[in-house]
Amino acid sequence: MDVVTQPADTILSAFYALRAYLNEQILGQENLVERLLVALLADGHLLVEGPPGLAKTRAIKALAQGIEADFQRVQFTPDLLPSDLTGSDIYRPEQGSFHFQAGPLFHNLILVDEINRAPAKVQSALLEAMAEHQISVGAATYPLPRMFLVMATQNPIEHEGTYPLPEAQLDRFMLHTLVDYPDRATTLRIMELSRREARKETELTPPHIALTQAQVFAARHAVLEITLADSVAEYIAALVEATRIPKQYSPKLAEWLRWGASPRAAIAMERCARALAWLDGRDYVTPEDVQAIAPDVLRHRLLLNYTAQAHGVTTNECVLELLRQVPMP
C-alpha cells in the first residue's frame, strides 16, 4: 500500500492506541515510551541510560508486539565479535561455496543491552549499521530492513570492564534518554502486574489496532509535513550554534563546554520536535516542543572540559543553561 494514501486519522489513532498499550505494559516510564515513539517516527536510534530492572528490555519488546515488526535482543559482552552482530560467510561443502548467514542486525527492532561492554570493533560494526542501514562482510555489502531501529542501553552504575562509546558513535544516536526509579505507588502497581502475569491472568498481547509497517512509514511522511515556522527553525539553529560559540551566550557555558553539537543535532531536534507535535495532534511545531526534546538530543553530543568535570557539572546542566540563555521566539 502506498505510504501517502494512508488515512491520517486512522494512523494517528493507531499510534494513540500503541502509546496507551505501552504505558500499560511499562508502568511509570511515560517519558521512555514517548521517546521510543519519537525515535520510531523520526527514523532514529535511541540510547537509554538507567539502573537495571527498569523495563528497558520490556519496553522495546512491547513495541515490537504492537507493530508489524520482528525483534532481536543482543547482549554485549567483552568477548563479542563483529560477526556475532553482522553474520558471516559459512562454507557449505555439499555446494562447494560460501553462503552468507545473516546475523541479529537483520531485524526491525534491535535491543543492544549494555552497549559499552563490547570492544571497539563490535561498536564499529554497529555504527555502520546505524549510520548507513547496511553491513559489510568481506567484499560484500548487505542492506538492512527499511524499518530499522536500535535501542541501546547503558548501566550508569558499573564502569569496570566497559569500553566508553566514541563521540562519533554517540552522535549516531538521535536521542539519549535517562530513566530513573519509579515512585512507591508505581512500584506497587508493578508488583501487582508482575503477580498477574505470573498467574497467567494477563499477558503481553498487542493492542487491538496493531500498526503495520506501511502505517509507520505513512506516519513518518506525515511528520515531515508538520509546519515548522522560520522563527522556530532559527531557534533550533541558535541552540546548536550556542554550543559551538558559548562565550557569546553565557560565561558559564564558555567555562564548561569543550566541544559543541554537530549539524546532525539540529536535524535530530527538528525531526523529533515535529514528531512530538504530531503525537500531540498538532500540525505545527512550537518552541516548547523544541525545549522538551532538546535535553535528549544534546546531552550526549556535548563534551565538557576539565573545569566542568572537576566541579561535577553535567551535560544536563549545560543544556538547561543553554535553554535559559538562548532567546525563545
- Per-residue pLDDT reduced to its tens digit, 277-295: 999 999 999 999 999 999 9
Beta strand pairing call for 71-75 and 303-304: unpaired
In contact, 257 and 243? CB cutoff 8 Å: yes
Report yes or no on 220 lying in a domain. Answer: no
Task: Name which of 4-8, 93-97, 153-157, 249-253 the model is least confident about.
Answer: 4-8
Q: Which of 40, 43, 37, 46 is nearest to 19 (CA)?
A: 37
- Which ranges in 181-286 belong to alpha helices (H)? 184-198, 213-224, 230-244, 251-256, 263-279
Report yes or no on 135 lying in a domain. Answer: yes
The stretch 82-95 carries a mean pLDDT of 86
Task: Name which of 5-9, 127-131, 194-198 the model is least confident about.
Answer: 5-9
173 and 297 belong to one structural domain: no
Report yes or no on 221 lying in a domain. Answer: no
The stretch 15-32 carries a mean pLDDT of 90
- Residue 266 pLDDT exceeds 60: yes
Report yes or no on 219 lying in a domain. Answer: no
| Three cell numbers written together for 81 | 565479535
Q: Which of 163, 188, 214 is the last residue of a domain?
A: 214
157 and 103 belong to one structural domain: yes
Supply the angle between the helices 230-244 and 263-279 in degrees, to the nearest 10: 140
Supply the angle between the helices 8-25 and 263-279 in degrees, to the nearest 10: 100
Q: Which of 166, 189, 214 is the last residue of a domain?
A: 214
- Encode pLDDT of 93-132 as tens digits: 888 788 888 889 999 999 999 888 888 888 888 888 998 8
d(CA 278, CA 226): 7
327: CB partners within 8 A, 6+ apart: 238
206 and 231 belong to one structural domain: no
The stretch 230-246 carries a mean pLDDT of 95
Q: Which of 243, 268, 265 is nearest to 321 (CA)?
A: 243
163 and 295 belong to one structural domain: no
136 and 239 belong to one structural domain: no
144 and 238 belong to one structural domain: no
232 and 300 belong to one structural domain: yes
Q: Which domain holds residue 304?
A: 226-325
208 and 242 belong to one structural domain: no
**Number of domains forming the structure of the chain:** 2
Report yes or no on 258 lying in a domain. Answer: yes
Q: Which residues of 310-320 are buried (b: 16+ CB within 10 A; e: fewer)?
A: eeebebebbbe
d(CA 173, CA 165): 11
Is the pTM for the entire model greater than 0.75? yes
DSSP assignment letter at 82: H
